[in-house]
Amino acid sequence: MNNLFTYGIDEYPALMDSLGQPTFRAGQLARWLWQRDAAGYDAMTDLPKELRARLASAAPLTRAHVATRQVARDGTRKYLLAFADGVSVECVGIPGRDGRLTVCVSTQAGCALGCVFCATGQGGLTRDLLPGEIAEQAVVVGRDFQRRVSHVVTMGQGEPFLNYDATLLGLRIINATDGLGVGARHITLSTAGIIAGIERLANEPEQFTLAVSLHSAIQTQRDELMPGLRGQSLERLHTALAQYYEHTHRRPSLEYTLIARQSDTDAQLDALADFARSLGAHVNLILLNKMPANTNPIGDDAPQRPVGTPQRSTYIPLSENHANEICARLRTAGVEATLRASRGADIDAACGQLAAR
């Protein structure tokens, strides 16, 4: 007996087969779940009643419960979703022009990597999410906005490449015709830079978009900001990204959070420009968002703070003007760069503010 959310959409035919059902039932099930948002098996009225009962015991289905919902001044909405076992994650809906709706999904409850500026990283990892739990977040947001989900990014809680299989299965549900039907190029995997994951993604058939959180192209600084990746060399990351491009002909983008007096020095910006230019990668500059007050501070009183970890007050955002200057400087250096607008900061819904509760 497996929770239905354990299955990828391609596994529904085998599930139906194991119950002695024809394959077309798999498509019916998928559409009820991911398009028609059925509350449970009982709502799937064109499945035989006996089948619904057998499904309920063979593959129990509990839809996520929206525990809290907050709306920001700019229209961004943040949700706390609770799953069957009570574990909860946050996800975000970001409405845009021309009917766009971007959903920022979590791939894990919490995160083990502990990046020093990220609220999720301060609480550690609770557990991996299941494929259906990842897709469910897009369903909940689409339902609430009463709009088709047009884009999905894995920029919520967790590191997608440390939950690779479930993340890919979840994104395939989001991408599938019988699923949410979001185009693969509109689905972005954001990773802290797990090399094995980048190598695997290069060999997947879908044209998903890859974004890598770089934050510093200088080894010592990156090790300090991203302690969970200490020991992983930037050189290997660069090689993996170059190979990814060679293999897929899709350019990865680089996320770079701007931290005053750290990421804005000449040495840092020159290193970033070299790293990005040689890959032909687009750089997304991000203004550092403050950590919500309810997350464990990185401070002298935090018992889990590893020796040598700087205090939270070390991390100060840059002004927007300064960030725009950096953007212009990178362009002059031959790098495609944009400053990403931060959305939903007044409800702590922006990048890095999603807390494991």
From ligand SAH, ligand SF4, none, interface partner of 155 (C-beta below 5 to 8 A by class) = ligand SAH
Residue 286 interacting partner from ligand SAH, ligand SF4, none (CB closer than 5 to 8 Å by kind): ligand SAH
Neighbours of 322 (CB within 10 A): 14
| Nearer to ligand SAH among residue 115 and residue 135 (C-beta) | 115
Look at residue 288 and give the partner it binds from ligand SAH, ligand SF4, none, a contact being a CB closer than 5 to 8 Å depending on partner kind. ligand SAH
In the numeric block, which tokens belong to residue 100?
């766009």
The pairing of strands 77-82 and 65-71 is antiparallel
Beta pairing partners, 82: 65, 88
CA atoms of 354 and 348, how far apart (whole Å) = 7
By the 10 Å C-beta count (0-12 exposed, 13-18 middle, 19+ buried), 306 is classed as exposed
Please report which helix (H) or strand (E) contains residue 71, including its range: strand 65-71
Q: Which parts of this chain interact with ligand SAH (CB under 6 A)?
A: 117-118, 154-155, 159, 190-192, 213, 255, 257, 286, 288-289, 351-352
* Cβ atoms 271, 328 nearer than 8 A: no
Answer with the entry of ligand SAH, ligand SF4, none that 13 interacts with (C-beta below 5 to 8 A by kind): none
Contact 175, 152 (CB under 8 A): no
Which of ligand SF4, ligand SAH, none does 229 bind, CB closer than 5 to 8 A by kind?
A: none
Torsion of CA 119, 124, 127, 132, to 10 degrees: 20
Under rule CB under 6 A, residue 168 binds ligand SF4: no
What is the pattern of x (binds ligand SF4, CB under 6 A) and - over residues 79-118? --------------------------------x-xxx--x
Q: Is 50 a catalytic residue?
A: no
Minimum CB distance to ligand SF4 smaller for 114 or for 179: 114
Q: Can residue 237 be called a binding residue for ligand SF4 (CB under 6 A)? A: no
Active site residue 118: no
C-beta of 159 vs 224, nearer to ligand SF4: 159
CB 52, min distance to ligand SF4, A: 38
Annotated catalytic residue within 90, 136, 159, 255:
90
Distance (Å, whole) CA 120 – CA 117 = 9
* Catalytic machinery residues: 90, 351
